[in-house]
Structures are given as C-alpha cells and as structure tokens.
Structure 1
Amino acid sequence: MTGTDSSSSSTNTPHTDKQPLHPAYTVTNINNKIRTLDGKKVKYSAWVKLFKLHARAYKVLHHIDGTDAPAKIDPTFFVWSEIDALILQWIYSTLSDVLLARVLDIEITARAAWTKIQEIFLNNKQARSVTLETKFTYTTLSSCASFDEYCQTLRYLAEQLADVDQPVSESRLVIQMICGLLVEFDTIAAIINEKKPTWITARGIL
C-alpha cells in the first residue's frame, strides 16, 4: 500500500519545465553598453562594431545579420518575434533624435531597421568615398586642436572609407599620419618611416 501510494504521489506530481531566461532579457540599460549614433561624435562604423559585439554577447546577432526568421507557423516564431522586438528597441534607443525620426517604424523587424540605417550611411558610396579620401589626404596636425584629435580624426576617416569599400591599410594610415605632421617632427618621422611600425607603435613614438 505504501509503495502504491508513493508511486501514485510521484505520478500525480506536476512537472514544470521552465525555459531558461534568454540573455537578452537581462539587459537593463542598453545605453550603458552602446553609445548613441549621431554620425558626428559617434560614427556609424563605431556604432556597428559596438552593437554587433553586444548582440553577439547576448546571443541575438542572428536578428541583424541577415539570418532568415523562422516561419510564422514555426513553434519558435512567437519567442523569436518577442526577442526581435526587444532588439528593435535596442536599435531605436541608441539612435539620435534625428536618425530615430527617419527610421522609426514599429511594424518592421530589427533586421529591417538595421538595413535602413545602413542605407542612410552607405548610400552613394562613390561620392562619399571621394569626399572621405580628400579629407583623409588633407587632414594635418595643424588642422586639429591636438595630436590626439589628429590621430582620432585619421582613424575615423579610415573606418568610414572601409564602410564605403575603400579600406585603408595600417601602413598607409601610418604614412598619412607622418605626412600631416609639422616640420619639427621631421627627424622622428624619418625614424618611423625607416622602422615601418604598426599604427599603435608609431603613435606611441610620436
């Protein structure tokens, strides 16, 4: 009788298989992790890198990288759709007011919003590449407020050139940095030219 009761009690005990909480739901303030994209202080290329890094860490990169969404009849679609709306919130929360007004739409997927932003910054690649190349070539130390600003400007321009399919090699970045220096740097510039160091090393030497 005891054995039967034990078996009956075990059989009647409800089993609840709770799904673990998706990591994306643990993010409380996306702005603490990804800076606001405005195209000026925070460039598109930098924002993309930060956003993708964050998305990979929280296992949602497939919502923005072009991976196909599950079909609506798929049992996983509801959960996917819920998380996708969360990623869409992340995107909107990290855009400037001006950019938000251009892409805001609650009836699209995170991927569609991501593509809209990409089109804003990467359309007219040829024209943009010419403009960026000119800025990159003619940026000098004397045109910047400090050496740090000079290096940062060159780096930003190089990243933007890569965005429009005109990548800048590290060696060219170093050469451009040397070319834009003042005459009092001629001796150290000659040493850098001879050693052909990395960008970080060259900047450290200067």
Structure 2
Amino acid sequence: MPDPPKFYPALSITNVKSLIPITLDTECGLYNSWVTLFMVQARVHNLLHHIIPPTEEKAQAAVAASKAADADLFGRLDVVVLQWIYATVSSDLLQAILVKGDTTSQAWQRLEQVFQDNKGSRATHLEEELAAVKLENFSSTEAYCNHVKSLADRLADMDAPVANSRLVLRLVGGLPSAYSGTVDYVQNQDPLPSFESVRSRIKLAERTMKHHAAQDSTGAALLMSTGGGTSNGFTDGDTNPEM
C-alpha cells in the first residue's frame, strides 16, 4: 500500500498578503522590509532554497535528493512560492518581472536587479531628498519620521546605508523652531540616541504642544464667554446701569 501523501502547509495558504502585509513597489522604499518578511515565510515552510539556491555542497545534495524523490511536488512548491512573489508586488512591478515559465529563483533575481540597477544615481537622488526633508511638508511628525526612515531604508537598498548618528541629526535638522528644546536635547547627547528614541521624543513634543494649544484655546473661549476679561463683569462698551 503506498504511503499517504504528505501535507505541506505552504500548499494551503490562500492569502499570503496576511503573512506578508507589504505590496512591493519601486517607489515605496520597502524592498528590504519586503525581502525580510518574504524570507521569514520561506524559512517557516522550509522553502528558502526555492528563492536562493544553496551554495554549500551538503545543502545542494539535499535539494537535489528532494527534487529527485518527488519532482512533481518540488515543482508545485516552487510555483507556490512564485505565486507569493506575484501576489505581493504592484501591478507595474509584476509586468516588469513576469516571464512565462519562470522559476522562483529567476523571478527573485529579476526583482533584485530592478532594485539594484543604477544604484549610484539612485543613491545620489535619495541623498538629496534626505538632505532637504522638513517637517513642515508633512501632516504630522509620524508621517515625517516614517518618510525619513523610508529614505534611509531605500539608501540601504542602494548599498549606501545611513549611520544612526547622521540619520538622527538629519531628523532633528528638519524640525521647525517650535521643537528647539527637543533639538537641543538630542544634539547635546553623547553618544546620540537611537533613531527610534528620537522619534518617540519628537512625537511626545508634538503631543505636548497640541495639549497646550488646546488648553489655550479652551481658556480663551472661557474668557470670552465670561465677558472678555473686563473688570466688574462688563464687556467693552457696557456701562453700569446703576451709575
């Protein structure tokens, strides 16, 4: 009696986006994050060799033996991982890498080329954008900090990583004068705090300023409702009827 077929969880995944919640796009600056999440899933299901063929002799022999033992299953699993790639990239990027009869490793290499080509010119453009970024161009400190981090991640993709100290100084360098206290605090630290620590301090400063602004607004409204702050409880232009 033949052995029952083995169950492979990877074959039952119907919504890979719930596991890799990033849609890769050439403009999003999330290539490193996407790769990290994708490789986690490949490791969980023991399918990393479909993405990056092993170079060690022992690992190569194991992959070859697995393929020889059940070539059909090996091919199905390869297509499953290929589907994961296709499902988690933008439509424009999909058109750029889609090739009939592709294997997972070929599609992976093609994606890598899209994000690694012309690294020098791309890095230069990103450096210029990072140097010019300012909080005033964003709706919140959260959006500002996320954009700065995204630029740093994209520079890392271009083999031009930004050191924490430089990233922190650039982050506070784009803040307006209202954040001068935060800027002075950060710049006087030795060594400089981490990017995440500075991000938290900037967001705290934003919340504090909003709270103070709300209090001032409430106080002004209360003052107006009680007569505009004139003495004896009379508004400007009123006279005491008893006089």
> Does residue 32 in structure 1 map to residue 26 in structure 2?
no
Shift of 1:39: 2.8
Equivalent residues in 2 for 1:163-182 (5 A)?
163-182=157-176
Which residue of the other structure, out of 124, 129, 132, is the alignment partner of 1:135? 129
1:201 is aligned to: 197
1:9 is aligned to: none
Q: Output the CA distance in 2 between the equivalents of 1:168 and 1:189.
A: 19
Q: Output the CA distance in 2 between the equivalents of 1:56 and 1:73.
A: 18
Which residue of the other structure, out of 22, 32, 38, is the alignment partner of 1:45? 32
Which residue of the other structure, out of 143, 152, 161, is the alignment partner of 1:158? 152
1:11 is aligned to: none
Q: Output the CA distance in 2 between the equivalents of 1:145 and 1:107.
A: 45
After the TM superposition, which segments of 4 or more aligned residues of structure 1 sit over 6 Å from their partners? none
1:20 is aligned to: 6
Q: Give the counterpart letter for 1:125 in structure 2.
A: K
Q: Output the CA distance in 2 between the equivalents of 1:98 and 1:47.
A: 16
Q: Is the 8 A contact 2:29 2:150 kept in 1?
A: no
Secondary structure at 2:64 match in 1: coil
Q: Output the CA distance in 2 between the equivalents of 1:127 and 1:30.
A: 34
Shift of 1:72: 10
Structure 1 residue ranges without an equivalent (≥5): 1-13
Q: Output the CA distance in 2 between the equivalents of 1:50 and 1:73.
A: 26
Secondary structure at 1:106 match in 2: coil
Q: Is the 8 A contact 1:24 1:59 kept in 2?
A: no
Q: Is the 8 A contact 2:26 2:93 kept in 1?
A: no
Q: Output the CA distance in 2 between the equivalents of 1:138 and 1:122.
A: 24
Larger radius of gyration: 2
Shift of 1:177: 0.4
Q: Output the CA distance in 1 between the equivalents of 2:88 and 2:199.
A: 31
**Identity in percent:** 32
> Does residue 126 in structure 1 map to residue 113 in structure 2?
no
1:6 is aligned to: none
Q: Give the counterpart letter for 1:173 in structure 2.
A: L
Q: Is the 8 A contact 2:29 2:154 kept in 1?
A: no
Structure 2 residue ranges without an equivalent (≥5): 55-59, 203-243
TM-score (normalizing by structure 1): 0.84
- Aligned CA RMSD, in angstroms, stands at 2.2
1:92 is aligned to: 86
Shift of 1:110: 0.4
Once the two structures are superposed, what CA deviation does each residue of 1:171-203 show, in whole Å capped at 9, x if it has no partner? 222111011111121222111122321111111
Q: Give the counterpart letter for 1:39 in structure 2.
A: T
Q: Output the CA distance in 1 between the equivalents of 2:66 and 2:179.
A: 64
Q: Output the CA distance in 2 between the equivalents of 1:174 and 1:127.
A: 24
User: Cα distance 1:41–1:164, how it changes in 2: closer, same or farther (>3 A)?
Assistant: closer
